[in-house]
A and B are shown apart, each in its own frame.
Chain A
Amino acid sequence: MLRFDDIKEGDALPELRKTPTLQTLIKYSAGGGDFNPLHHDYNFPQAKQIGSIIVHGRFKYASLGELVSNWVGHAGRIRKISCQYKGMDLPNNEFVCRGVVKKKSTDGGEKVVEVDVWTENAEGKKTTPGSAVIVFP
């Protein structure tokens, strides 16, 4: 189990690799409720204009959440998580969720860890940069 005392600034989170297929996106649409055809219909005008359907930004956000959840386990609580959608990812292309510990503090007696997180495509571009704040008991 992850222990606050063992965490060091600069620690890398265990990476999470995803290659979402059309089926993955359909499952995410069903789970999250976003049925925008841009994520399942190659004939949708916006998809034709882009040249493909694209991965939901929120799927990448949720994958970053999973990255942090998998690292923390149930040793702490994710108090804040955010990201910006800076680049599109396409189905059947792998992206990697990564994170690194940016700051560890015990200000005000509260054990807090801040991490930078992002998704990275095959070209190494950070398409979804973000951050998370975890509090430990």
Chain B
Amino acid sequence: MAEQFELTADMKAQIGKQSPPWDYEVTTTSVRMFARGVGYTDPVYFDVEAAKKAGYRSLPAPPTYLGTAVFLPGRCSDTFSGPSEGLPSVDHGLKGILDGGTETEVFETICAGDNLVAVQQLIDMKVGASASIGKMLIMTADTTYTNKSTGKLVAKQRAQVIYY
């Protein structure tokens, strides 16, 4: 628990900062792996022919797929697999980490074969408290996903992460 934790001016100064764009490739294998991990049994997430019959260009990404990492050794977190370079970072010293909430808006169906570009922005930081974990830092970040070939914004995901 972090009874003494306070937001400092240095931490607050990170709000609004954006990551550099990173390539976010959606592939048949990544969709299959995600769908298997969740427990989907609908063949459209595994079989390209079944997906085409259902009207998709290729395997569709499930609605909660975004956030599934494209791992690059040395440039990504070994634990969370996402990019570690250039993200807004806050030196808060807290060790416990929990997901707080996730919201995804999908403007166009995303399918295997789509090459997206992701940009993350730190939106908010606040201090909260709960009976079970005590004082906590709640960080909110938005990630936008743009289709590389059409230039259109295809999705936006807001994620809250709790540090304690």
Binding site for B on A (CB under 8 A): 18, 24, 27-38, 45-46, 49, 56-59, 61-66, 68-70, 74, 77-85, 132
B104 within 8 A of A: yes
The answer for the CA separation of A134 and B96 in the assembled complex, in Å, is 35
Interface of A is mostly: helix
* A30 and B64 contact, CB distance less than 8 A: no
Binding site for A on B (CB under 8 A): 33-40, 42, 44, 54-56, 62-64, 67-69, 71, 78-82, 95-107, 109, 158
* A80 and B106 contact, CB distance less than 8 A: yes
* A69 and B62 contact, CB distance less than 8 A: yes
* B104 and A34 contact, CB distance less than 8 A: no
The answer for the CA separation of A74 and B42 in the assembled complex, in Å, is 10
* B80 and A61 contact, CB distance less than 8 A: no
In-complex Cβ contact of B42 among A28, A30, A70 (8 A): A70
* A80 and B67 contact, CB distance less than 8 A: no
Known: A69-B63, A80-B103. A32 touches B42 (CB 8 A): no
* A33 and B82 contact, CB distance less than 8 A: yes
* B42 and A69 contact, CB distance less than 8 A: yes
Known: A27-B36, A28-B37, A30-B37. A46 touches B81 (CB 8 A): no
* B109 and A77 contact, CB distance less than 8 A: yes
Task: Show 8 A/B contacts (Cβ-Cβ < 8 Å), sorted by A.
Answer: A34-B80, A49-B96, A56-B99, A62-B34, A79-B105, A80-B104, A83-B101, A132-B63
* B103 and A82 contact, CB distance less than 8 A: yes
* B64 and A36 contact, CB distance less than 8 A: no
